[in-house]
Chain A
C-alpha cells in the first residue's frame, strides 16, 4: 500500500541522507519525495510517498524516522483530511495543426502550454496526482516525449472532520 508521510526536519546537511537511508535499509520503496522550506526558518518539510507492506512495518519505520535527531515530526497523513498537489511538465509531440486540439484537452485540467517548438509543446499542470495521471493518459496518443514530475507535497486541512473516511489512498494508485 502507498502512504503519504509528512516530515518536518531541521534543515541541516545530511538529514535527507538519514531519512532516505532509514527507508532504504528497511527496504521501503520511495515513490516520490519532495523537500522545501517552511514558514519557520531552518525547518524544512519533506513529503514522501512510500510503498509499505503492512501497518507494523509502517509503524516501525515511522519510529525509526522519529528517532533521527534532526527529524522534528513524522506523520502518516494518508487518512487525514489533506490538501495534495503535484506539478508536472509534459512534453508532447505536436505540429502546429494539433495545437488547438491539445489546448482543448488540457483546458478543463487548468493546465497550460508553457513552451512551443516546431514539433512539440510543453504542458504545465498542477493538481492532485490522480488528475495529472488522467491528463497524461489523454495526451499519450499524441506521443509524449518527456515527463518531469515534482512528487507530491501536502499538508493537513485547517479543519479535520471527525471520524472521516477521507483516506487519500485513492490518490495514490
Chain B
C-alpha cells in the first residue's frame, strides 16, 4: 500500500503541497545540499524532503548556528548559494549570527525559515518570532511568503539576489499553512523582474580611461585586492594586470589568495596585523587601486593616516562602498573581472617605479614577519608554518576568530584563490569548524584544515557528530593556548595587563571528547612530537582532532594599535 502511494506520487508531475513545490524549486535551482534542522513549523517541508530523498541531499547539523556557518563555508568554496532550512522562533533566532556574518562578508545564502500559520502570525503563537523584522537589517533582502502562487517567483528572486551583484544572504519566511497547503495546480514557470535591482557589471569607460591615464604617472602605485576579486573569479586577471604593469599587491584578510603569495610583487596582507611592508606601501602610495575591498577599519587603521598621499581608484560592484570611508578620485562601479579585462584590453602604459620597488624590497628585508622560536613549548606561528609545510600550502584552511586566525593569515600563505575561509567582518567565534565542514562537503577530495582556538571551538563543537556521521575527513587543529588569547593580548597591551576573564581555567579533554564522538584525537605539546606525527595525522583517511598545546603568552605582531595609523605599527622587530 505504502509503496504504491509513493510510486504514484513520484510518477505524477504535480507536486502535492506547498512544501513539495518548494523542494522542487530548489532542485530546479540546482541545489544539491540543504543545511538544515527540523522543527514544528517546517514539518511539512521535512515531509517533502522525505519524499524527495534521493534527489536532494539534506545534512542534519546539531545546532542552527553550526549549519549556517557550514553553508557559508560551502558558499565560499563553490561560489553558489548555501541553502539553509530552519524552523520558526528559536530555529530562526539561532540563525541570526550566521546571517549577519554572511551579510558582512558578502556570502550568498538562501535561508528558509518556517513560520507559524498566517492565521496566527502576530498573536505570539508558540515559537513565533518576528523574523522579518529581526532579519531586515542583516539580509540583502527578505520575503515572507503570502501565497503558494508566489513561491516560484520568490525562490527564483531569492537565488538571483543572493548570488548576483554583491552577494549576500536572502531569507524566505514560509508560514506553515503555506507549506502544508495541498496544491490543486502547479503554479506556472515564472520569469522575474526586479526594476529596483540592476547591479552594474560594466565599468564606465571614462573612468577606466582615467585610471589608465593615472597609472603611468604614478611613482608609487599599489593594488589592494579584496574578496570582490574572489566573488568575480578574477584572480587570474588580477595577477596578469599586476604583472603586466609591475604593480605590487596588498591583499585584505578576506582577499588572501587572490594574488599568489610567492610572487615577488606580493606584499602580503595589509591592516591591523598585516605586514609592515604592505601597510607602508598603502601609507606611502601615490596611486592606490582597490579591487573589491571595502576599506574596512581593520584594514585602514585611523582613516586620517590612510593612504594620505594617494590618488584612490576604487573598483567595486557596490556603489555604496565607494567613498564610504575613503575619499575616492576614480570611482569605478563594476564587477572586478569585467573591469580588469577592460584594463587589460586598453592600451595602458606602465608606471616607472624602480625606486618604489627597491624601497619595498628593502622593507621586506628589514621588517619581515617574525616570531621567537621558544623551545620550552610550541610556538603557534611555528605550528601554522608546520601545517603549511605538511599540506604543501595546498589545503583549504578555515579558521575561527582570535590570535590563531591572525597567525593562520600571516603564516599559511596561499598561492591560489578560494582556499581561505575566515570570518572577517563580523569576527564570529564558532565560525571556523562548521565552515570547514561546509568546505569539505563542497570539495570532498581536498585537504580541509580547521585552525581553531580552544575557546571558539567550544562554541560549535557539537558538529563533530556531522563529520563522524559522514566521514568527512576534516582535520581540526586546536591552537590551544588555554585562553581567549586575543582578548588576553589586548588586556596585556591596552589594559596594563589586567587579565580579566580571559583565561580558561578548565577545559575538556579534547582527545577524549573527539573519541566520544567516534573521532580520532591526538594531543601534542612539543615541536618534536608535532614533526613526528603531523604528516601521518594529516594523511589519515578520516576526521582527526589535534589538540596542540601552544605557548599561552604569545602575541600577534606586528600590529596597529587602536586609533593609530598604518605607519605606526608596533612590534615590527623582534623584542
A interface, CB within 8 angstroms of B: 9-10, 13-14, 17-18, 21, 25, 56, 59-60, 63-64, 66-72
Contacts of A9 in B (CB 8 A): 196
Question: Do B133 and A63 touch (CB < 8 A)?
Answer: no
Whole-angstrom distance between the alpha carbons of A64 and B137 in the complex?
Answer: 11
What are the 10 tightest A-B residue pairs by CB atom distance, in nearest-first order? A63-B320, A69-B141, A72-B196, A69-B197, A21-B137, A17-B136, A71-B196, A64-B320, A67-B320, A69-B196
Contacts of B319 in A (CB 8 A): 63, 66-67
Question: Do B137 and A72 touch (CB < 8 A)?
Answer: no
Distance (whole angstroms) from the CB of A139 to the closest CB of chain B: 39
Question: Do B161 and A13 touch (CB < 8 A)?
Answer: no
B186 interface contact, C-beta 8 A: no
Whole-angstrom distance between the alpha carbons of A57 and B146 in the complex?
Answer: 36
Contacts of A67 in B (CB 8 A): 318-320
Question: Do A72 and B195 touch (CB < 8 A)?
Answer: yes
Contacts of B324 in A (CB 8 A): 60
Contacts of B561 in A (CB 8 A): none
Question: Do B136 and A69 touch (CB < 8 A)?
Answer: no
Question: Do B132 and A10 touch (CB < 8 A)?
Answer: no
Closest to A10 in B: B196
Contacts of A63 in B (CB 8 A): 319-320
Contacts of A64 in B (CB 8 A): 320
Question: Do A14 and B136 touch (CB < 8 A)?
Answer: yes
Within 8 A of A (CB), among B263-282: none
Name 9 extra pairs, CB < 8 A, besides A69-B194, A71-B196.
A14-B136, A17-B133, A17-B136, A21-B137, A25-B137, A63-B320, A67-B318, A67-B320, A72-B195
Question: Do B320 and A68 touch (CB < 8 A)?
Answer: no
* 16 residue pairs from A and B, CB less than 8 Å apart: A9-B196, A13-B144, A14-B136, A14-B144, A25-B137, A56-B323, A59-B323, A60-B324, A63-B320, A67-B318, A68-B141, A69-B140, A69-B161, A69-B194, A69-B197, A71-B196
Contacts of B137 in A (CB 8 A): 21, 25
Contacts of B196 in A (CB 8 A): 9-10, 68-72
Q: A-facing mask of B140-161, CB < 8 A → 1, else 0?
A: 1110101000000000000001
Give the total of B residues in contact with A, Cβ under 8 Å: 19
Given known contacts A69-B194, A72-B195, is B136 in contact with A21 (CB within 8 Å)?
yes
Whole-angstrom distance between the alpha carbons of A70 and B146 in the complex?
Answer: 17
Contacts of B195 in A (CB 8 A): 10, 72
Contacts of B161 in A (CB 8 A): 69
Whole-angstrom distance between the alpha carbons of A31 and B195 in the complex?
Answer: 29
Contacts of A72 in B (CB 8 A): 195-196
Which DSSP category, helix, strand, loop or mixed, fits chain A's interface? helix
Distance (whole angstroms) from the CB of A45 to the closest CB of chain B: 14
Most central of A14, A66, A69, A70 by chain B CB within 10 Å: A69
A/B pair count, beta carbons within 8 Å? 43
Whole-angstrom distance between the alpha carbons of A69 and B171 in the complex?
Answer: 13
Contacts of A14 in B (CB 8 A): 132, 136, 142, 144
Whole-angstrom distance between the alpha carbons of A68 and B195 in the complex?
Answer: 11
Most central of A66, A67, A72 by chain B CB within 10 Å: A67
Whole-angstrom distance between the alpha carbons of A83 and B172 in the complex?
Answer: 40
Contacts of A69 in B (CB 8 A): 140-141, 161, 194, 196-197
Within 8 A of A (CB), among B234-260: none
Whole-angstrom distance between the alpha carbons of A103 and B137 in the complex?
Answer: 49
Closest to A64 in B: B320
Whole-angstrom distance between the alpha carbons of A72 and B194 in the complex?
Answer: 9
Distance (whole angstroms) from the CB of B334 to the closest CB of chain A: 16
Most central of B137, B196, B324 by chain A CB within 10 Å: B196
Distance (whole angstroms) from the CB of B174 to the closest CB of chain A: 15
Q: A-facing mask of B59-88, CB < 8 A → 1, else 0?
A: 000000000000000000000000000000
Distance (whole angstroms) from the CB of A64 to the closest CB of chain B: 5
Closest to B325 in A: A60
Given known contacts A69-B141, A71-B196, is B136 in contact with A60 (CB within 8 Å)?
no
Question: Do B136 and A18 touch (CB < 8 A)?
Answer: yes
Whole-angstrom distance between the alpha carbons of A17 and B136 in the complex?
Answer: 8
Closest to A18 in B: B136
Closest to A70 in B: B196
Contacts of A68 in B (CB 8 A): 141, 196
Whole-angstrom distance between the alpha carbons of A25 and B138 in the complex?
Answer: 12
Whole-angstrom distance between the alpha carbons of A9 and B197 in the complex?
Answer: 12
Contacts of B197 in A (CB 8 A): 69
Q: A-facing mask of B195-216, CB < 8 A → 1, else 0?
A: 1110000000000000000000
Distance (whole angstroms) from the CB of B131 to the closest CB of chain A: 11
Closest to B195 in A: A72
Distance (whole angstroms) from the CB of A136 to the closest CB of chain B: 35
Contacts of A66 in B (CB 8 A): 319-320
Whole-angstrom distance between the alpha carbons of A68 and B140 in the complex?
Answer: 8
Contacts of B136 in A (CB 8 A): 14, 17-18, 21
Whole-angstrom distance between the alpha carbons of A72 and B197 in the complex?
Answer: 8
Closest to A43 in B: B195
Closest to B327 in A: A56
Within 8 A of A (CB), among B289-331: 318-320, 323-324
Distance (whole angstroms) from the CB of B331 to the closest CB of chain A: 11
Distance (whole angstroms) from the CB of B390 to the closest CB of chain A: 44
Whole-angstrom distance between the alpha carbons of A13 and B195 in the complex?
Answer: 17
Contacts of A17 in B (CB 8 A): 132-133, 136
Contacts of A10 in B (CB 8 A): 195-196
Whole-angstrom distance between the alpha carbons of A71 and B320 in the complex?
Answer: 14
Question: Do B133 and A60 touch (CB < 8 A)?
Answer: no
Most central of B133, B194, B195 by chain A CB within 10 Å: B195
Whole-angstrom distance between the alpha carbons of A60 and B325 in the complex?
Answer: 10
Whole-angstrom distance between the alpha carbons of A14 and B171 in the complex?
Answer: 13
Whole-angstrom distance between the alpha carbons of A132 and B449 in the complex?
Answer: 68
Closest to A60 in B: B324
Distance (whole angstroms) from the CB of A63 to the closest CB of chain B: 4
Distance (whole angstroms) from the CB of B84 to the closest CB of chain A: 20
Whole-angstrom distance between the alpha carbons of A66 and B196 in the complex?
Answer: 8
Distance (whole angstroms) from the CB of A40 to the closest CB of chain B: 11
